[in-house]
Amino acid sequence: MELELEMEKVQVLIIGSGPAGYTAAIYASRAGLKPVLYQGGQPGGQLTITNDVENYPGYPDGVIGPQMMMDFQKQAERFGTDIRYGLVTATDFSSYPLKATVDEKHEIEAEAVIISTGASAKWLGLPSEEKFNGKGVSACAVCDGFFFKGQDVVIVGAGDTAAEEATYLSKLANKVYMLVRRDEMRASKIMQHRVKNTANIEILWNTDTVEIEGNDTVESVRVKNNQTGEERVLEAQGFFVAIGHKPNTDIFKGQLDLDESGYIKTIPGSSKTNIEGVFATGDAQDHIYRQAVTAAGSGCMGALDAERFLAAKEVELVD
């Protein structure tokens, strides 16, 4: 007969790591809230697959993503954060205290929950994407475009994000090839106008990626016209995928208010969700900026909002 596990009670539960989760942990632990942080399926988040980070303040010589996340983790641990391996597989925010299940077996009851589950870039699904990830392949032009200054690059996508990133890359790269699968773009008219009127952006319509080629780094991209079947090789040193991101918020469906893409809705100017005591930070609620520094800032907001929420709860109990 299987014994029922005892419910563990914690003050603040942080779901997910990365800049948002670790920053929330730093602030919450310094405030004496004794946070417990579960790192999730990808400890450290998307930055652990990012080679060079040069745009985060405080690292004048740049830093590799995994090292940066180790620094964040050490700082959170220094102030007493209980950091654990494990994946929160279910939540129940229907009553207070709030409840979560870790790895489908361990039950936790929390007075406040800070969500920092992030988002995952959508990829084309080519084996070469994984092979060259961080070696010429990227899902963030703003993060990595600088490394391709004066070089030729390829970007895949047809929406506003792709158009915006293509325009951004055009200011750094020598040439930008933009691959669009259909004979039209989904981007807004103003974004299309900018792309079409940028001299060093060449749009290849009805074009799919066949393979990313190279030895240690990206050297070329083989593409195919999906109407004629004709293939050609584009000499390029960078390959950017801009077909969207998927927020890691599936376990909150039906409990938290999400937008049409699955991002958690927060009250403007705060990290508060529609459930009292639940706060959302980082890329799980940010589909606009998606930068390490903005994620860290929102992690700070989440911890401060949680601290104020718990302080107000104490006053209620005293009254």
**pLDDT given at position 44:** 74
In terms of C-beta density within 10 A (0-12 exposed, 13-18 middle, 19 or more buried), how is residue 40 classed?
buried
- Euclidean distance between CA atoms 54 and 318, whole angstroms: 49
**pLDDT given at position 41:** 79
pTM of the model: 0.81
Whether 183 sits among the annotated catalytic residues: the reply is no
Q: Which of 119, 115, 107 minimizes the C-alpha distance to 256?
A: 115
Q: Of 52, 71, 82, 140, which is the active-site residue?
A: 140
Whether 143 sits among the annotated catalytic residues: the reply is yes
Whether 144 sits among the annotated catalytic residues: the reply is yes
Angle subtended at Cα 159 by Cα 163 and Cα 43, rounded to the nearest 5 degrees: 95
- The torsion of the CA quartet 188, 190, 194, 195, rounded to 10 degrees, works out to 20
Residue 221 near residue 192, CB atoms below 8 Å: no
Which domains, ranges and CATH numbers included, belong to the chain? Answer: 8-120+245-318 (3.50.50.60), 123-241 (3.50.50.60)
Average pLDDT by stretches of 10, the chain with 319 residues: 69 96 98 96 76 87 91 97 96 96 94 96 92 93 92 96 94 98 94 96 98 97 96 97 93 96 96 98 93 96 98 73
105, two tokens: 């077996």
- The torsion of the CA quartet 307, 311, 314, 315, rounded to 10 degrees, works out to -160
Output DSSP code: residue 252: G
298, two tokens: 């929102």
**pLDDT given at position 6:** 66
**pLDDT given at position 319:** 53
- Report CA torsion sign: 251, 295, 146, 175: positive
Which residues are registered as beta bridge partners of 138?
240
DSSP for 265-317, written as a single string: P--TTS-B-SSTTEEE-GGGT-SS---HHHHHHHHHHHHHHHHHHHHHHHHHH
Work out the angle between the directed axes of helices 189-196 and 160-170 (0-180°, nearest 10).
30
**What residues contact residue 7 under an 8 Å CB cut-off, 6+ apart?**
107, 108, 109
- Euclidean distance between CA atoms 19 and 299, whole angstroms: 7
